[in-house]
Every structure is written in C-alpha cells, then in structure tokens.
Amino acid sequence: MSKKTAAIDIAEATRLEMYRSQYRLREAEQRAFDLFLQNLVKGTSHLSLGQEAIAAGFATAMQPGDLTFCTYRGHAHTLARGVSVEKVLGELMSRDNGLMRGKGGSMHLTSVEHGVMGSYAIIGAHLCIACGAAWRAQYQGKSDVTTCFFGDGTTNIGAFHEALNFAVIWKLPVVFVCENNLYMEYTPIKDVTAVAQPAADRASAYGLERILIDGNDADVVYQTAQKAYARARAGEGPSLIECLTYRHSGHSRADPAKYRPKGELEKWKESDPVKTYRARLLAQGIKASVLDEIERVVKAEVDAAEVACKASPLPPDEIMFTDVYADGGCAWRN
C-alpha cells in the first residue's frame, strides 16, 4: 500500500478544495443524521461518514463532463460533484425541493447536469451500467471518463466479475473504485471473501494492475485518481482501485453497528480523514483562519439548506404519475 503522502506534490488550491469538500460532506451527512433523529427523514439512508477522502479525492481529480456512478451510499459522491446540500437533504426529506422531488429518495441520488448518473441500490448492476457510459465516450470519441464507486461486499457478486472483464476487453475509459470499509452490511468482509483484499487481489484476474491505497488520505486518493484518469483518457482502458477506509456510522439508519469489535471504531477515528487532513494542512503551513473560513462557509450552506428543506412542501401528489415513460406520463394503454 502506497503511503508516500509526503512526496505528493499537489497545488495548494487543490488541497484547500479537497479540505472544503471533505468538510462539506461531513457536515452535510451529520446534518442528515440530525434530521433523521428529528424524524424528518422517512425513507432509509446510508451515510459514509469517515469515507469522505475517497469522494473528495476522486471528484477533485475529475474534469467537468466526467461521469459518476454510485451506490445507495451515494450522498458524498453526489455532493462532491457540486450538487447542493439543499437538493440532497431535500430528497432525503422527500420534499419538493429534492434532487428528484422525492421520487428516488436517499438511495437513488442522481444529478445528470453534474455528471452524477445515478445511485443504484441493487448491488452490482451499476458496475455494468458504468461500462456502457464509458463505451459511449469511446464510441463518440469523447474524452470523458466514468468512475464507478462500490463497496467491498460488492466484489463477491457476479456482476462485478462480468463488468471488470467486459471493461478490459473493450478497453473502456472507466475507473472502478472499491471503498473497502471492512463490512458488507453487518458481516466482516473477510468472513465471506476468498482473498484478503477483495478488489486488489482480483485485479490480476482481469489483467489489471493491483492497486491498494489508503482511502482515508485525500492526497493519495487524488493522485491515484489522476493516474487512472490519465490512463483512461489515453485509451489505455480501465483501472480497479481498492481504497481502505471505515464507516463511522452503521450500515444504514437502522443499524447501531453493535457487531464491531471493541476499539475498532476508535482506532479508525484516529485516521479520520477530515481531521487528519486539517492537521496536515496546518502542518504544511496553511493558516487556521483560512480553514476556519472554509468551515464557516460550508456550515452556512448546510444551515441554509436545512432551513430551505424544512420550508419546502412535499411534492404534489400528481408527481407520482409522471415520468414512467418518455411522454412524461404513465399510460400503458390507450
């Protein structure tokens, strides 16, 4: 696992942007949790508190027009592409101001205008779908790259295998990112996986390089992403990147995460990506006031989002009957 962060040369503006992004994801998801405790989130939700460096690192390395595919645990990746906190929280709260006006919910955040092509809640499918988006870029001679995020548990489903093989033989500009947070729901990934590193140890089965990185270090993530994107844009095909990380909260809102061994969470909190990154920036000479200002602006966005969401009405009932088909409606007969 590459650990040479000190050697990474990243522009200050980029580093500040990655801090802002991580801090914003953290704040937005913590607010989502607060709203849930206030019983204002009626559907399910899956937080990625603790995994922010991955979303921030990749999104920062992306170019406009690049595409993101994520799972039900997709708040962070959606926000990281620039979607407003209001639209995300609005969707979680099923309000009319939500990203999909409440029709998708937390598990399906999508913002095509930001390149967020969807959040998928049935494990596996979106790795295949991401291949198709990348194929379109190749077919049309476009230079955009598609990134597909998924968890460690997802490496054991058949669609993972099919997508990886397919992406390689068609040499598609797609980057597969496995966020290994050690658990599939409540079961430790090591209990159900034939290899130690569920993604990295399988790269060779697709003729790919083994890439295993510290997913809590935004600089490492950013640099790895850049390399994979350069490779994809050069027509050299897909990458598979395994990022080691940990989720601070339970699997979903219903999960108190009692299955964790004692001390595990505490140990991982020592490498909390937001806190460690702040410390690093300070150590690198960035002024605390600069970071404080970033935090203040983020907090203001999140506060304003909460107010706007609480004020937003539920969507009108008619919305349930729209957009099943391209004609805008749901008629299946004449």
Ligand X SMILES: Cc1ncc(C[n+]2csc(CCOP(=O)(O)OP(=O)(O)O)c2C)c(N)n1
Question: Quick check: 246 binds ligand X (CB under 6 A)?
Answer: no
Q: Which does 43 bind (CB under 5 to 8 A by kind): other proteins, Mg ion, a second copy, none?
A: other proteins
Residue from 62, 89, 117, 184 that binds ligand X (CB under 6 A)?
184
Report the distance separating Cα 64 and Cα 139, nearest Å.
19
Torsion of CA 278, 284, 290, 294, to 10 degrees: -30
One residue of 35, 116, 123, 177 binding ligand X per CB under 6 A? 123
Least separation in angstroms between residue 24's CB and Mg ion is 23
- 2 residue type, one letter: S
Q: Is 153 a binder of ligand X (CB under 6 A)?
A: yes
Nearer to a second copy, 161 or 310 (CB): 161
Nearer to other proteins, 136 or 227 (CB): 136
| Closer residue to other proteins in complex, CB, 128/220 | 128
Q: Binding a second copy by CB under 8 A: which of 1, 37, 192, 331?
A: 192
Alpha-carbon distances, residue 93 vs 48, 118, 275 (angstroms):
18, 18, 28
Which candidate, 197, 202, 196, places its Cα nearest to that of 163? 202
State which H helix or E strand residue 184 sits in.
strand 183-184
Q: Which does 206 bind (CB under 5 to 8 A by kind): ligand X, other proteins, a second copy, none?
A: a second copy
Taking the C-alpha atoms of residue 232 and residue 171, their distance in angstroms, rounded to an integer, is 9
Residue 52 interacting with ligand X (CB under 6 A): no
Return all residues near 317 (Cβ < 8 A) that are at least 6 apart: none
Name beta bridge partners: 243.
Answer: 179, 213
Return d(Cα 109, Cα 98) in angstroms, integer.
Answer: 9
Q: Which of 6, 7, 112, 311 binds other proteins (CB under 8 A)?
A: 112
Binding mask 144-163 for a second copy (x = CB under 8 A): ------------xxxxxxx-
Task: Kindly report the length of the chain.
Answer: 334
Q: Which residue stretch of 120-128, 203-211, 220-228, 303-311 sits at the interface with ligand X (rule: CB under 6 A)?
A: 120-128
Give the binding site for ligand X (CB under 6 A): 73, 121-124, 150-154, 179, 181, 183-185, 251
